[in-house]
Amino acid sequence: MADREVRPATAGPRTHVRVSQAAEGRRPAFEGTSIAPRIVVVGAGPAGVRAAQTLLEAGIRPVVIDEAARAGGQIYRRQPANFRRSHEALYGTEAARAQAVHDGFDAIAAAVDYRPDTLVWNIADGQVWTASEKGYATLAYDALILCTGATDRLMPVKGWHYAGAYSLGAAQVALKAQACAIGANVVFMGSGPLLYLVASQYVKAGAKVAAVLDTSPFSNRLRAAVDLIAQPGILADGVALTRALAKAGVPVLTGVTPLEITGDGDDGVNGVRVRLGNGTERHFTADAVAMGYHLRPETQLADLARCEFAFDAKTRQWLPKRDQDGRASVAGVYLAGDGARILGARSAEVSGRLAAFAALADLGQKLDPLTLTHLRGQVASYARFARGLATAFPWPHEQAASLPDEVIVCRCEAVTAGDLRRVVNETGAKEANRAKAFSRVGMGRCQGRYCGHAGAEVIAACANIPVEQVGRLRGQAPVKPLPVAIAPEGEE
Amino acid sequence: MPNPVSVSDVLIIGGGLMGTSAALFLRQRGRSVTLLESDLVGRQASGTNFGNVRRQGRPLHQLPLANRAIAIWRRANELLGADVEYLQSGHIRVCYRERPENIAKMEEYATEARHLGLDLELLTGNALRTRFPFFGPDVLAGSYSALDGHANPRLTAPAFARAAQKAGAQVFENTRIIHAAKQGTDFVVTAEDGRTFQAPVLLITAGAWGNKLSQQFGEPVPLTPRGPNMSVTEPVPYAIAPAVGVMTPVEEETVYFRQVARGNIILGGSTRGPSYPDQYRAYVLPQNTMKQLRQIRRLAPALANLNIIRVWTGIEGYLPDSLPVMGPSATTSGLFYAFGFSGSGFQIGPGVGETIAELIDTGTTPIDLSHYDIARFRTAES
């Protein structure tokens, strides 16, 4: 393998040096020095944990930066240290995997440079900018592995700004991290595997589930079977969840069209009104509703690192480009887990390892080609399963076209579908950032993470153009709100 | 040569605030206008600046132009048929304790400005703090202009472009001009895709790209592209009426903020960042954001309780004396310029459009343009 130019991990002005060709079993170092390259892993979910482990095994001590107080990510999110529920109680069918990821990280936590409760809020000139209670700091990297995870993909519906309307992920976090339910009588509405998983977790926790309302017709699942069979184990778990819900007496309806979350601004949610697959309307009484349409990757850091994106027609979203091992379009940046593609937690463990191997290879370390082939094969299988999920539980983009004008699309800035359509019609703004500049959709504190997809669909339908022509909202720092008070670490 | 896409009285290259407002005022004077914009109108300096509609602090010789502009700002919504969020809520410029000599400068400026139609009130001590309790202990004095204010840059130039279009101007976006020349009595300009446009009068309002065109007429200028350093907080209850800025010779200390009606506080200034006109990109450097926040805390400590939710920048063109090029070409008859506003063009923008339109239409204007003559950059060999 040829030597490759990389930059050393020292502070201050950085000069280009060469990494010595790593002999088998020797840790990679910059030529003529014992300085190991600095690899920064952002995120300590399944992808980040496995990436960090892989790097450590190769003799590199990575920096692991995570927003959460404890490693595990969202899907295997841990309860506070003084809570005592078992892994079985918290993670059900995924208990063994959650335990393995947690134990895996606990075993290396002291050996890596672990920075919990720390946000990476910007990336520039080969450095990550962090923020924590201690202040801000910069950290130069030779390789950056982004394992930033995912959040819920949401579709606006009338009344979704009332108190008591949550995303599925939030409903699950409340349960897992805080042992709280979002309500005593909860409707689950949307589509995707998480809809059934969280609903059954609520049943198990003793909350009343008023209904599970899936926008996807059941026939989609049959069409998806050819791909879903790629992961028979996960498929069986999913079927079992649906059965368990039926057994618990929870109404599970498919092919549903959400019409309205009923309630008011003072008392919040009091129910959900939908049109059923047979055309009749029905109202379900509830004091909370959890919504989600599968997931969307958190790609802002890849965006700030100036990675290129491409439109994925199957899921109708923009994703950072990467090769089969996770290399982004920018040298030295690697993408793994659901932050790159929604392939699920199991795949994230594999893609985290692959991204670490890719970084090591690019730094001059020799790798076992068989290991790589094996890991790539696993990711390919998860990718096929994910394609099946996208067929079974599609993002109901056509609903955006029929959203009533009074429905709020951007909750941060309280901009309605009508406001956005007026901007499109009156100003001719059809590009996402242009429409944002004129309408404020996506300009608030979430920076379009929750409304961006729906906003683009509203624009596309209104302007009668394909949604990819609308483009995507450019990411801007800070990734999450940053205190004006922030000072450098170590400064009073 | 292919047939031109348009033949009009006036051709304008550059759809920022200067070009779009000139287009509207030329239409009001009955001239046919074609406006060419390389990207989308108002996307760079005109759309990403702080939004100060501020006269005070400008060179005294610029105040007649600023006064002309303020009259347009006051009727902007009616003129444009769109809300550009203009608030005539005052502007205060303050100086710090460590530079007390600035008080004398403020007093002198206020005396001169009064003769030119700008009334300023000097405030110090308790008078300053009672009226504006948010200032930090380093703030020594302030110069308050009740009739200045702020507006929304994202909306303004596009609103002028739409109004110009409604008045009959032809606007071509995504039209990058690579060549401009005078052939006989007419200018012919050629876009990247080969389209040509023709007119006997050419106005170049191309901001940071202005030099690329002026040099085709033998008039290069030392234009430097930079990017403003902008941030915005989450919305909080509306409490701060005036736009606020610091008077200081130190670039890093030069910060400003304003609260919009929706409640967000926009922070600007401190060190400007790099911008790349050829790539149509500009980047906020994180270290500049950090410097800005430090200076903002010094200016108004209570803002430390808020969070910034977004930063942004754009592409601005700066000239060495911080004054624009504005007026007729020194080499070519029928050619006019208005670019290089050096981060200070937003307030005067509509006045620039009106003045240039007047100059093109009548051959003269009462506004003194001598300070902005492009010939001041003429070198020995050119």
Q: What is the pLDDT of residues A266-315, one digit of tens each?
A: 999 999 999 999 999 999 999 999 999 999 999 999 999 999 999 999 99
Among candidates B158, B307, B310 on the partner chain, residue whose Cβ is nearest the Cβ of A484: B307
**CA dist., res. A162 & res. A261, Å (int):** 8
Contact B307 A483 (CB under 8 A): yes
Tokens 């599968």 belong to A294
Q: Locate the domains of chain A by residue range.
A: 5-151+296-365, 154-293, 398-470
**CA dist., res. A430 & res. B69, Å (int):** 31
Contact B286 A447 (CB under 8 A): no
**CA dist., res. B10 & res. A393, Å (int):** 56
Is the pLDDT assigned to residue A22 strictly greater than 50?
no
Hey, is B203 helix, strand or coil? strand
**CA dist., res. A165 & res. A160, Å (int):** 6
Average pLDDT over residues A86-115: 93
- Bond into A478 cis (ω within 30): yes
Average pLDDT over residues B215-232: 97
Contact A124 B311 (CB under 8 A): no
Q: How many CB pairs below 8 A link A and B?
A: 67
From chain A, pick out residues whose CB is under 8 angstroms from the CB of B305.
484-485
Domains A154-293 and A398-470 share a fold: no
Q: What is the mean pLDDT of chain A?
A: 91
Range name among A43-47, A76-80, A328-332, B190-194 with the lowest pLDDT average: A76-80
Q: CA of B262, closest CA in chain A: separation in Å?
A: 9
* Residue B217 · residue B374 · CB < 8 Å: no
From chain B, pick out residues whose CB is under 8 angstroms from the CB of A427.
158, 162
Q: In DSSP terms, which residues pair with A208 in a beta bridge? A: A185
**CA dist., res. B282 & res. B312, Å (int):** 9
Among candidates B262, B286, B308 on the partner chain, residue whose Cβ is nearest the Cβ of A484: B308
Tokens of A262: 């009923």
The pLDDT > 70 percentage for chain A reads 93
Q: CA of A48, closest CA in chain B: separation in Å?
A: 25
Q: What is the pLDDT of residues A131-164, one digit of tens each?
A: 999 999 999 999 999 999 999 999 999 999 999 9
Classify domain A398-470 at the CATH superfamily level: BFD-like [2Fe-2S]-binding domain (1.10.10.1100)
Is the pLDDT assigned to residue B249 strictly greater than 60?
yes
At A27 the pLDDT is 54
Q: Which CATH architecture has domain A5-151+296-365?
A: 3-Layer(bba) Sandwich (3.50)
Average pLDDT over residues A210-218: 96
Amino acid present at A104: G
Closest CA to B245 of B374, B91, B133: B91
At A24 the pLDDT is 43
Q: CA of B270, closest CA in chain A: separation in Å?
A: 14
Among candidates A438, A445, A485 on the partner chain, residue whose Cβ is nearest the Cβ of B234: A445
Q: What is the pLDDT of residues A80-95, one digit of tens each?
A: 888 888 888 888 888 9
Average pLDDT over residues B241-252: 96
Average pLDDT over residues A428-456: 95
Tokens of A316: 């109708």
Q: Please provide residue B211's backbone torsions phi and psi, each rounded to the nearest 5 degrees.
A: -65, -35
Is the pLDDT assigned to residue A491 strictly greater than 90?
no
Is the pLDDT assigned to residue A120 strictly greater than 60?
yes
How does residue A21 score in pLDDT terms, banded at 50, 70 and 90?
Answer: very low
Q: What is the pLDDT of residues B325-368, one digit of tens each?
A: 999 999 999 999 999 999 999 999 999 999 999 999 999 999 99
**CA dist., res. B242 & res. A107, Å (int):** 57
How many Å separate Cα A465 from the centre of its chain? 27
Contact A443 B310 (CB under 8 A): yes
Average pLDDT over residues A189-193: 96
Distances (CA, A) of A323 to A308, A330, B272, B374: 12, 11, 36, 52
Is the pLDDT assigned to residue A347 strictly greater than 60?
yes
B-chain residue closest to A437, CA distance: B154
How does residue A17 score in pLDDT terms, banded at 50, 70 and 90?
Answer: very low
- In words, the CATH class of domain B91-146+229-313 is alpha beta
Q: What is the pLDDT of residues B70-93, one digit of tens each?
A: 999 999 999 999 999 999 999 999
At B1 the pLDDT is 59
From chain A, pick out residues whose CB is under 8 angstroms from the CB of B173.
none
**CA dist., res. B205 & res. A12, Å (int):** 41
**Which strands form A39-42's sheet, in the order they lie side by side?**
A113-115, A63-65, A39-42, A143-146, A333-335
Among candidates B158, B262, B310 on the partner chain, residue whose Cβ is nearest the Cβ of A476: B310
Is the pLDDT assigned to residue B378 strictly greater than 70?
yes
From chain B, pick out residues whose CB is under 8 angstroms from the CB of A486.
290, 293
At A80 the pLDDT is 87
Among candidates B155, B286, B309 on the partner chain, residue whose Cβ is nearest the Cβ of A444: B309
How does residue A1 score in pLDDT terms, banded at 50, 70 and 90?
Answer: very low
How does residue A2 score in pLDDT terms, banded at 50, 70 and 90?
Answer: very low
Contact A478 B310 (CB under 8 A): yes
Average pLDDT over residues B135-147: 97
From chain A, pick out residues whose CB is under 8 angstroms from the CB of B283.
124
Best CATH choice for the domain A154-293 from the list 3.50.50.60, 3.30.420.40, 3.10.20.30, 3.40.190.10: 3.50.50.60
Closest CA to A303 of A328, A325, A324: A328
Tokens 């006064």 belong to B67
Domains B6-48+154-222+320-377 and B91-146+229-313 share a fold: no
Closest CA to A339 of A130, A47, A54, A115: A47
**CA dist., res. A400 & res. A29, Å (int):** 53
How does residue A36 score in pLDDT terms, banded at 50, 70 and 90?
Answer: confident
Is the pLDDT assigned to residue A25 strictly greater than 80?
no
Is the pLDDT assigned to residue B322 strictly greater than 90?
yes
Q: Would you list which residues of chain A are within 8 Å, Cβ to Cβ, of chain B?
A: 122, 124, 129, 136, 138, 413, 427, 431, 434, 437-438, 443-445, 447, 476-478, 481-488
At A14 the pLDDT is 36
Q: CA of B96, closest CA in chain A: separation in Å?
A: 20
Closest CA to A181 of A88, A287, A258: A287
Instruction: State the Cα angle at A282 between A184 and A163, rounded to 5°.
Output: 40
Longest dimension (CA), chain B: 71
Is the pLDDT assigned to residue A11 strictly greater than 80?
no
Is the pLDDT assigned to residue A26 strictly greater than 80?
no
Helix (H) or strand (E) holding A55: helix A46-57
* Single pTM value for the model: 0.93
Closest CA to A141 of A322, A12, A10, A325: A10
Contact A482 B284 (CB under 8 A): no
At A83 the pLDDT is 87
Classify domain B6-48+154-222+320-377 at the CATH superfamily level: FAD/NAD(P)-binding domain (3.50.50.60)
Q: Locate the domains of chain B by residue range.
A: 6-48+154-222+320-377, 91-146+229-313
From chain B, pick out residues whose CB is under 8 angstroms from the CB of A120.
none
Contact B304 A129 (CB under 8 A): no
Contact A481 B308 (CB under 8 A): yes
